[in-house]
Structure 1
Amino acid sequence: MKEFWSYDSDYILKQLNTGKDGLSGKEAERRIDKYGQNIFEEKKSSSKLEMFINQFKNPIIMILIFAAVLSIFLKDYSDGIIILIIIMLSAFLSYSHESKANNAVKKLLSSVCVKSSVLRDGKFEEIDNAMLTVGDILNVKTGDMIPADCLLISENSLSMDESSLTGETFPVEKIPQKLSADTGLSNRKNSLWMGTHVISGSGKAVIVNLAKDSEFGKITASLNKKDSDTDFEKGIKDFGNLILHVTTLLIGLIFLFNIILNKPFLESFMFALALSVGLTPQMLPAIISVNLSQGAKRMSEQGVIVKKLNAIENFGSMTVMCSDKTGTITQGKVKLDSALDCNGEKSDNIGKLAAINSYFQEGYSNPIDQAILEANTNNFSEYKKLFEIPYSFEVKLLSVMVRTEPDFFGKNIMITKGALTSVLNVCKTYERADKTGGGIEKIKTQILDLFDKYSSQGYRVLGLAYKAIEDGTDIQKQKAEDMVFAGLLLFIDPLKEDIKDTVREMNRLGVSLKMITGDNRLIAKNIGSQTGLDPEKILLGEELDAYSLSQLNKKVLDIDIFAEISPNQKEEIIMAYKQAGEIVGYMGDGINDSPAIKQADVGVSVNTAADTAKDAASIVLLHNSLKVLISGINEGRRTFINTLKYIFVATSANFGNMFSMAGASLFLKFLPLLPKQILLTNLLTDFPSLQIASDSVDEDWLKNPVKWDINFIKKFMILFGIISSVFDYITFALLLFIFKAGEELFHTGWMLESIISAVVVMLIVRTARPVLASRPGDKLLIAVIGISAVLLMIIYSPINSYLGLIALPIKILLALLGVSFLYALTAEILKKNFYKHNSFSGKGRL
């Protein structure tokens, strides 16, 4: 039933065809057959084989598989096997992380597997939750978990903990009443929600919606949805499509021109296919995997567990970080901030009176009394409890009578705390901290003004009163009346200690923090203001529903605080930011946060969070300090940038070589390089490329979010590819016209120049700074030197004949090294001009 909280219980009982004596056993069975069991309907998940096959549905992977098959067909088994190993390792890594993520729903189901006390055939009995049905009457008491969404019929001081569902820290009182249909979830005081539990009192309620239709069930359904592609994954696919299109076009043209020039069909076909391997960035899956695994290892050392590796690079591109309030921005723990008299002055005596009340009350353990006792420094061991009037949601007061000798003039006293208006109603006089006082009516307005003032500042405000009880008085007949108003108790859920520094640092890094909370607007404004957010940029849950998705996409860009938000609205906010072009992170710790965590590009939770929140998250913080978020952002940018470095190097060098070979094949009587030489060239240049994963990153590139920009990659590939090709043609001219090179000398000379130029220029294009001002990582530098040495060993060793190479004369070697030096110098000059007008950082120029 929709909006059942907007009807009274008699109407609902009639609509459900049930009575206050409950259902009969036969009727319950009939309804279970009709509506199904009180369980979540799990969607059939993909088989392990299907999940594994899905890892290969990617343009890059498809090109690489084709390249591997081609290499094996060309009898270059080692290169083909290497490519296949890289593909399989990448697929297994992705598969293992995806399969682990599927446990989220199972954890969610197991968290509420309990029995309930149900009225059947006129008597209460314990029945498994799965066998409950619509119209069943439940009896709930302290500690009970609610098995379905219910409407309250009756209560006796019933108080619920709904923090896991709504994010509300304080207990929620429940009262049978009729509410407006648009009442927010956290304010539906006549409803009991699945997954919440009773912290005090008792009550009866009728089941209205079973598990699959409950608010809890809506969260489960959203967790069952397939993850949408993150920005990084979309970028990889776009890049794969770019390479696929360029490769297809150039290969087709090269093959066509070779046929037109009457070159052998099979030889031309094999050459064109070999070139496709040359353009494909074979090491991209390995680069991504190494980048992410190294980043995850570094983050684990800081107490951050990375569950979904691609979340690291999403951190790098993140522009908006949304966070729940309770337990993430705040400590999620009630604290007594101040005890004030009616003038707003602090008073130790009021704090002591409150501690006596909390120390001796025996109703139930609750966060408010715990907060009072934690702030207490007094010893009450010599005091004696005389009587207690338990807390009642009708009068909203709790009173204890205590013998306090030798304190308080040796008199017995009654101490009452509760809702401020209720306390004022039982007071006759007031007392200031200096013991002066008067009639309560004189200052009631002043006290209420203080209440409004502190409530608007985000405090939960209670009142405190007391009176002396003369010896010989019948304690059992005492009531909370004719009391002395002592003062106000101010409670707050404090900010986490490092949150302000974290927000400032995030702003410096170009990431905006947005607070999303189910709490009321006053508390949300106050916490947001303390955090550094603009309290005037606020949107309420009831207002959010008035916007269409296209309108909300624009509205959210000017909002800092979302208050009185329901769980489903959190997910809607995340989607709005994503559709507005933002890369969104979300951090939360409750069941109600799970859908938003799953929907975000970067889902973050903490070690103390609900299991479902941790399972839905990509990142889990083992330490409560939020400063590790900054480490995550920097680590994300470092890994993202190093991935892009490889793409810049590989696409520009490969595009240039391919363009050169395509042109050379038109005027040479032999192939510019043999297919096996193309593959060897590609393999040798890939080894140092693999070390880019551990390369250092310039600080300038860590200042702003980094986003995929296919246009930037195209510009980079074309500019540096053409420059590479220009020097290739200079090499052709040098070999053909100066040194009169034959086929083997040409192959050897160009292969050497191509590899040396590629690894040297790799050191240049890896940074936007002058090459000597940015030190490369040690592994990259060693790899560049090592591959250069290996290349010379191959050329000047007996194995050169097996590869169709010959030993180069020294003068030719020096001439080719000179060409490589000029190429590097030209690339350095062009790079400086290129980065003046282009940037891949997402914001600003480098």
Structure 2
Amino acid sequence: MTTSDRDPKEAPPVQGGTPPEWHSLSTEAIRQKLGTGPSGLSANEAWMRLERYGENVLREEVRETPLQVFLRQFRSVLIIILLIAAGVSFFVGAILDAAAILIIVVLNAAFGFTQEWQAGEAIAALKKMLVQQAVVIRDGRQQEVDAARIVPGDLVVLEMGEQVPADLFIVEATSLEVDEAPLTGESSPVDKAPGPLPPETSLAERSNMAFAGTTVVNGRGRGVVVATGMTTEFGRIAGLSQRVRDETTPLSRQMDRLGRDLGVIAVGIAVLAVIVGLLQQRGLLEMFLVGVSLAVAVIPEGLPAVVTLTLALGVKSMMRRNCLIRRLPASETLGAVSVICTDKTGTLTKNEMTVVRVRTPDAEVTVTGTGYAPEGGFLRGDDPIDPLADPGLGQFLRTVLLCNHAVLAGDGEKGWRVLGTPTEGALVVAASKAGLSREGGPEAEEEFSFNSARKRMTIIYREEEGDVAYVKGAPEVLLARSSRLLLGGSVVPLTEDRREEVLAEIGEYASGGLRVLGAAYRPLPDGAERTAETVEEDLIFLGFAGIVDPPRPEAAEAIRLCRSAGIDVIMITGDNPLTASAVARGLGLSGEGALTGADLDRLTDDELKGRLRTTKVLSRVTAEHKLRVIDILSRERSVIAMTGDGVNDAPALKKASIGIAMGIKGTDAAKESSDMVLVDDNFASIVAGVEEGRREYDNIARFTRYLLSSNVGELVAIVGGLLLGLPLILIPIQILWINLVTDGLTAIALGFEPAEPDVMRRRPRDPTEPLLTRNALLVILILGIWLGLLTIYVFSGLYTVDLERARTMAFSGLIIFELYNVLNFRSFRFPLHRIGVFSNPTLFLAILGTLALQVLVVYVPFLQPFLGTAPLTPGDWGLLALLGLPVLVAGEVYKILRSRVEKDAPGSGESPETG
């Protein structure tokens, strides 16, 4: 019974996704199981199945609304503490203080929202349109339908250049080749043909299936839909990706920890100060004011805004290095990476198949030049040769050019590209390097197409001397059908000894990671029967070519740089192990052999953990394998960057510390699951991003510690004055002015500090190490106490004569002392003359700007009441400048002594600001 005759009320078959039995069944069994036939489904049956199974679409994670992205900016513990501080200030009547805190919090949130939303829009711009229409057979007629309305049992027509709309079982195929790289990572197109396969056949080797999201690159065919929507392999992986939770970044965890610690300290000190003040019989209102001042002094109000701005500036710098950051903290996370799990094709390699060697019966020839640009030459040994003057090489190149459908397009300015399969394109490029072209050549008369069973292709041309069959394919297949070979320009018999020698040479090429393709030809006798079997016999063997996807020239240097930076690199690919290992060796990616997905399945977690220390190539892996590798590495406290471009990479991209999707060849699923998009798909850009990320973290550490040392100074001044029975040295609005405006400007300028020269010679930092290490806390306390005591000294000498002027001196003095101090925090390892006094001009502009603002609030009459200031004399400013100078001198002396002791040795992985 055909589907057109089915009872509309009869229940359609149950859709079982893509279980192992689909590829192990015959065509007839598939049709029977799905209730379909050569005429396809009826329109009525298709409608009923659509009602039952739903549309052929993926359930996508709902993108955050603008409001959700904005509210996410308030999740930080530090932001919550600032909001509480604003509430307390409002409660005690310090309205101006409360307003200032709220303004900075809202501005910080707005800035973070702008950056993240723009990144989301950039991702949307990178997205490519998914398949919208598909051709199916229904009611025996070929018709175009919306791909979303395809159902199990539909008979889909596949043509070159089209995307596969659902998971299909192939029932007809003519030279059908499918690019499955987005799903399996296989770098070469996969030949497709009908026929059952063993149940245990892996996904990458299911040659009788075509999967949703892959692309037909050659030939044509038909397939029966066995799975749609979320039950396809594409959908299964998308579902796996949606179940993976986003990982928090090391910086986010450190900032939350810092916020909690500061909150506890602020409350504790404020409460203690109020109790001490009440015991001194001070007024309750005065002590409330003191408590608020201390809370404000402890919390660096400008820190969240400075961190956000610094990360945003880092995002801009990353973009200049071809790294599009989707979320602000990811730019810093990249700098903490200790392991990079990288794809091979297009990331470490150019993704442009290239002929590198040709072996004819006469000799082996090296072909120079990489990629699709027809630029290069031919060498025998070290000597250049004219390939067309060599009869054997010339005939080989002419044969692979004529027995070919690929077209080389483009030019040197716009870039070269191949229209057709990459392997055929590589042969066309090699022939072009010899000056050969199909233009003006003979016309093809007949073709016997390539398929996975024949493993060869033949095109017959009408030549002046008669018809000639040009054949290319698997060299061992052509060798078996050859009785002669071209040697020294003459056709000679192919002996068994020579046949064995050629097979051994083919094996050497293949074991070296080269894709090997042979060529042969045969002049055809007139009037002879012309079938594939009769034409493809008694061939004249011409030799074979070694084809490789060449490594990117800059990738080897990038891997060497990773090694010097203490970053482990692991290649994880869906490609075959021989090819992957050969590429790894060429790039200097040292390790012990390669592990396949099957090997991973046999190893326990502990065994795999041990192997990952020495094995740097994982091939033929699935999405589940990648997640398992990330889990194992994460237990070692590694910060993991995972690159990927395919649907199968999406779960791992989401699970990794930082997921890096490819911008050129990456799928939408990969981009949406990533933290960063690599605009140029180049591994070297990742390493450049790591350097930028390390610079960002160093700068965040610099200004965080600088701001906290300033806050310690404010705290010492207020608490010290309280214990000495002095009036309140700094009022809350003055502390806010210091924290938000003057310290904020210089802290932001520290974010522009260039990377130190050894930034990529330090080991990655421990992600569990706090932002404030023991050494850093010691430096913060020493400098902060010094600043605080200087401020008390300035205030105590004047308050009995003129309290307002004394407070202005203390207020301005603390700012000047901190401006000296900010120069200390540019580096705690190198003195100023080593890093360059003016290497960060932004900082000196910030220092001048801070001084100008302070002069304004001291002398402009309408600003004086708001900040409680009074005019100062030039002598007052001179005294403050002299008092602060030893702060800088002491820091420089310390760094000079330290640099002499260390003899400028590279750091041990500790941040340069640990002191």
Calculate the TM-score normalised by the size of structure 1.
0.88
Q: Secondary structure at the match of 2:518?
A: strand
**Is structure 2 residue 751 aligned with structure 1 residue 688?**
no
Q: CA deviation at 1:281?
A: 1.9
CA displacement at 1:560 relative to structure 2: 1.6
Corresponding residue to 1:353 among 387, 391, 395: 395
Instruction: In structure 2, give the amino acid aligned to 1:820.
Output: G
For 2:699, the equivalent position in structure 1 comes to: 642
Provide the C-alpha distance between the structure 1 equivalents of 2:454 and 2:666, rounded to a whole number of angstroms: 34
Output aligned runs, 1:193-212, within 5 Å.
Answer: 193-212=211-230
Which residue does 2:761 correspond to in 1?
703
Partner of 1:720: 780
Instruction: Verify: 1:310 aligned to 2:365, yes or no.
Output: no
Aligned to 2:449: 390
- Classify 1:652/1:433 alpha carbon distance in 2 versus 1 (closer, same or farther; 3 Å): farther
Q: Counterparts of 1:289 and 1:66 in 2: how far apart (Å)? A: 20
- The structural deviation recorded for 1:193 is 0.5
Q: Distance in 1 between matches of 2:866 and 2:364?
A: 93
Q: Equivalent residue for 1:784? A: 847
Is 2:64 aligned against 1:8? no
Question: Identity over aligned residues, as a percent?
Answer: 25
What is the CA deviation profile of residues 533-563 of structure 1, one whole-angstrom value per residue up to 9, with x for unaligned ones?
Answer: 1252532222223456676566534432121
Instruction: Determine the structure 2 residue equivalent to 1:366.
Output: 421
Aligned residue number for residue 158 of structure 1: 176
Match of 1:35 among 35, 42, 53: 53
Distance 1:609 1:141, change over 3 A: closer
Hey, what does 1:59 align to over in structure 2? 77
Q: Residue in 1 aligned with 2:589?
A: 533
What are the residue-to-residue correspondences of 1:181-196 with 2, within 5 Å? Answer: 181-196=199-214
In the TM superposition, what are the counterparts of 1:540-555 in structure 2 within 5 Å?
Answer: 540-547=596-603, 555=611
Distance apart, 1:642 and its partner CA:
1.5
Please say which of residues 95-104 and 649-658 is displaced more in the overlay. Answer: 95-104
What are the superposed Cα offsets for residues 119-157 of structure 1, whole Å, 9 maximum, x if unpaired? Answer: x45655443322222333434343442222223344344
The residue type paired with residue 389 of structure 1 is F
Return 475-484 or 835-844, whichever deviates more.
Answer: 835-844
Q: CA deviation at 1:212?
A: 0.6
Farther off after superposition, 767-776 or 735-744: 735-744
Deviates more, 1:50-59 or 1:622-631: 622-631
The answer as to whether partners of 2:524 and 2:535 remain within 8 angstroms in 1 is: no
Taking a change above 3 Å as real, the CA distance of residues 616 and 92 of structure 1, as seen in their structure-2 partners, is farther
Secondary structure of 1:116's aligned partner: strand
Structure 2 counterpart of 1:261, which letter?
Q
Contact persistence 2:270–2:294 (CA under 8 A): yes
Aligned to 1:671: 728
Structure 1 residues 386 and 107: CA distance shift in structure 2, 3 A: closer
Q: How does 1:427-506 map to 2 (within 5 A)?
A: 427-433=482-488, 435=490, 437-471=492-526, 473=528, 478-506=534-562
Moved more, 686-695 or 79-88: 79-88
**Worse overlay, 38-47 or 638-647:** 38-47
1:699 is paired with a residue whose SS is: coil
Contact in 1 for aligned 2:97/2:732 (Cα 8 Å): no
When structure 1 is superposed on structure 2, of 361-370 and 55-64 the one drifting more is 361-370
Instruction: Provide the alpha-carbon RMSD of the alignment.
Output: 3.8
Give the Cα–Cα distance (whole angstroms) in 1 for the partners of residues 62 and 787 of structure 2: 58
Report deviation, 1:650: 0.8
Please state how far the C-alpha of 1:767 moved relative to its aligned partner. Answer: 0.8
Per-residue deviation, residues 770-819 of structure 1 (Å, max 9, x unmatched)? 24443252221233244345546655776657644555688876665554
Gaps of 5+ in 1: none
Equivalent position of 1:770 in the other structure: 831
Does the aligned pair in 1 maintain the 2:400–2:519 contact within 8 Å? no
Q: Compute the displacement of 1:492 (Å).
A: 1.5
Deviates most, 157-166 or 418-427: 157-166
Query: Superposed, which structure 2 residues align to 1:70-85 within 5 Å?
Result: 70=88, 80-85=98-103
Distance (Å, rounded) in 2 between the aligned partners of 1:317 and 1:800: 46
Assess, with a 3 A threshold, how the Cα gap between structure 1 residues 460 and 771 changes in structure 2: closer, same or farther.
closer
Task: State the shift of 1:668 in Å.
Answer: 1.1
Q: What stretches of structure 2 of length at least 5 have no aligned partner?
A: 1-15, 366-386, 407-419
2:111 is equivalent to residue 129 of structure 1: no
Matching of residue 330 in structure 1 with residue 345 in structure 2: no
> Which residue in the other structure is 2:277 paired with?
258
Match of 2:364, SS state, is coil
**Which residue identity lines up with residue 709 of structure 2 in the other structure?**
S
Following superposition, the deviation at residue 520 of structure 1 comes to 0.5
Distance in 2, Cα, partners of 1:504 & 1:310 = 26
Deviations 1:270-319 (A, max 9, x none): 32122222222222233223323333444445555444443332232222
Alpha-carbon distance in 1 for matches of 2:860, 2:118: 50
Deviation of 1:647 after TM superposition, in Å, equals 0.3
Pair 412,33 (structure 1): closer, same or farther in 2 beyond 3 Å: closer
- Cα offset for 1:180? 4.4
For 1:644, the aligned partner's letter is A
CA distance in 1, matches of 2:746, 2:557: 39
Amino acid at match of 2:781: G
Secondary structure of 2:105's counterpart equals helix
Partner of 2:262: 243
Residue 468 of structure 2 is aligned to residue 413 of structure 1: yes
1:401-452 residue CA offsets vs partner (Å, 9 max, x unmatched): 33444xxxx5643222111232122112334356474334222222221121
Rounded Cα–Cα distance in structure 1 between residues aligned with 2:632 and 2:133:
37
Distance, in Å, in 2 between the alignment partners of 1:371 and 1:307 is 36
In structure 2, relative to structure 1, the CA distance for the partners of 1:78 and 1:440 (3 Å cut) is farther
Q: Secondary structure at the match of 2:483?
A: strand
Match of 1:519 in 2: 575
Q: Which stretch shows the higher mean deviation, 600-609 or 59-68?
A: 600-609
Give the whole-Å Cα distance in 2 for the aligned partners of 1:135 and 1:221: 23
Structure 2 Cα separation of the partners of residues 711 and 387 of structure 1? 72
Q: Quick check: 420-429 or 449-458, which moved more?
A: 420-429
Using a 3 Å threshold, how does the CA distance of structure 1 residues 635 and 74 change in structure 2: closer, same or farther?
farther
Q: How does 1:593-608 map to 2 (within 5 A)?
A: 593-608=649-664
Q: 1:217 aligns with which of 221, 232, 235?
A: 235
Indicate conservation of the 8 Å contact 2:650/2:673, yes or no.
Answer: yes
Q: Which is worse superposed, 765-774 or 466-475?
A: 466-475
Distance of 1:132 and 1:764 partners within structure 2: 67
Give yes or no for contact 2:338–2:638 (8 Å, CA) kept in 1: yes
Aligned counterparts of 1:810 and 1:386: Cα–Cα separation in 2: 98
Aligned with 1:329: secondary structure?
Answer: coil
**TM-score, normalized by length of structure 2?**
0.82
1:149 equivalent to 2:167? Answer yes
In structure 2, C-alpha distance between the alignment counterparts of 1:735 and 1:109, rounded to whole Å: 66
Which deviates further from its counterpart, 373-382 or 104-113?
Answer: 104-113
8 A contact 1:165–1:592 mirrored in 2: yes
Task: Give the AA of the match of 2:776.
Answer: F
Moved more, 140-149 or 618-627: 618-627
Question: Does the C-alpha gap of structure 1 residues 212 and 382 become closer, same or farther in structure 2, counting only changes over 3 Å?
Answer: closer
Seen in structure 2, the aligned counterparts of structure 1 residues 834 and 678 have a Cα distance that, compared at 3 Å, is: farther
Summarize deviations over 1:85-124 as a string: whole Å, max 9, x none.
4333332343345446667699879412222314x45655
C-alpha separation between the residues in 1 aligned to 2:528 and 2:832? Answer: 91
Between the aligned partners of 1:486 and 1:246, the Cα distance in structure 2 is 82
Name the aligned partner's letter for residue 21 of structure 2: F
Q: Distance in 2 between matches of 1:198 and 1:809?
A: 82
Q: What's the counterpart of residue 247 of structure 2? A: 228
The equivalent residue for 2:909 is: 843
| Number of corresponding residues | 841
- In structure 2, C-alpha distance between the alignment counterparts of 1:524 and 1:500, rounded to whole Å: 15
Most deviating of 325-334 and 474-483: 474-483
**8 Å contact 2:350–2:550 — kept in the other structure?**
yes
Report if the CA contact (8 A) 2:171-2:224 is conserved. yes
Of 364-373 and 328-337, the range deviating more from structure 2: 364-373
Is residue 386–residue 475 contact of structure 1 (8 Å, CA) maintained in 2? no
3-state SS of 1:326 partner: coil
Secondary structure in 1 matching 2:447: strand
The structure with more helix, counted as a fraction of residues:
1
Q: Once the two structures are superposed, what CA deviation does each residue of 1:212-256 show, in whole Å capped at 9, x if it has no partner?
A: 122211343356566332223233223222322322332232233
What CA distance in whole angstroms lies between the structure 2 residues aligned with 1:280 and 1:163? 51
